[in-house]
Structure formats: C-alpha cells, structure tokens
Amino acid sequence: MPLTEKQREQIEEFRSYIEDTVAADDRYGEKQRLDREDESTLATRFAAGTHAWFEVAIRPFIPQIRVGFLTDDRWKSEECEQAIEESGDTMQEFIGMGFSDAGLDWPEPPVEHYREGGQYFYFATPLALDGLADLELDEIRDKTIRMLEGYFIAFGPAIAVEDGEE
C-alpha cells in the first residue's frame, strides 16, 4: 500500500526537524538521504568519519523509526564490537549507557547488529510507533534526537581513535 500525501508530509516534517537539529551540531558530518524506491525505508545518514555514518531511518509500513550507527568497513565494525566487549557490558547495556548519558532513560534498549546487503554493518535500535502521526509528537522527536546522541556517545570515541582524532 503506497503512502498517502498526508503521510509523506508527516515524514518530511519529521525528517526536516531531525536534519535541522543535527545540522546545528558540528560533531556530525554531512547529511545524505538514502531512500528505497518502494518507500519501505527512508533514511538520513550523517557522516561520522571515514566509512562510517549515524542514521535515522523511518520504516513507514511497520511503522518504526530506527536509529543507529553503520559502516561499510568490516574492520571498523569489528573495532566497535571490540569496544563493546572491552566495556564488559552487553550490547544493550553499552548502548543504554550512551542513551543515559544523552538524557534518555532506556537502560537496555533492543540493539540489532547485522549486515545489510553484503555492504553495511549496522548497530541499530528500533523505536515502534503507533502510527505515522506519532512523528508529529515532540516526545518522539526528542527521543529520536536523544537516541542519535546516545549512539554518538557510545561509538564516538571508537570512531575518533580509528580516524586518528584521539
């Protein structure tokens, strides 16, 4: 079932809000929109060093927002896995601590770690929506920004070390 014009407007307003908020923070790099032609995933990526991005994706037919970190570099993915292992925490606890530092009380959020299309290695947390109208809610927008910030806090140090910024 294709998206309605109203749903497209809700999605665009949400994306613009997220992108404008992130654009005001110079810790994030250039943004790029990568949308599937069938509109099943509408993603905005923010550069995070070499071969790495933070992503906010809307999956309108589920409906869901997915926030995370991805890389197309197997070694960078393994370095992130190593950072999690060295922390002594589970993946959920590791991301949950980043969320906590970002002001979000979600101690053990679900974390999906997978490889997509043989190209990207993802660490991502889904946020279920009751419907696309939820994209208009301040609490959903705030939670999404805090999730993104939590991923930055969790993975930022590993990215900086790998890109020689320590």
Find the distance separating the first CA and the last CA of the chain, reported in whole Å.
48
Q: How confident is the model at residue 117 (pLDDT cuts 50, 70, 90)?
A: confident
- For the residues 9-13, what does the mean pLDDT come to? 98
User: 136: which 2 tokens?
Assistant: 């208009």
pLDDT recorded at residue 140: 98
DSSP annotation of 107 reads: S
* pTM, two decimal places: 0.93
Contact yes or no for 151/63 (Cβ under 8 A) = no
Max distance between CA atoms of the chain, in angstroms, equals 48
The pLDDT score that the predictor gives to residue 23 is 95
Inform me whether the pLDDT recorded for 8 exceeds 90: yes
Domains and CATH numbers, the chain: 5-162 (3.30.1460)
Phi-psi region of 82 (alpha: psi -120 to 50; beta: other; left: phi over 0): alpha
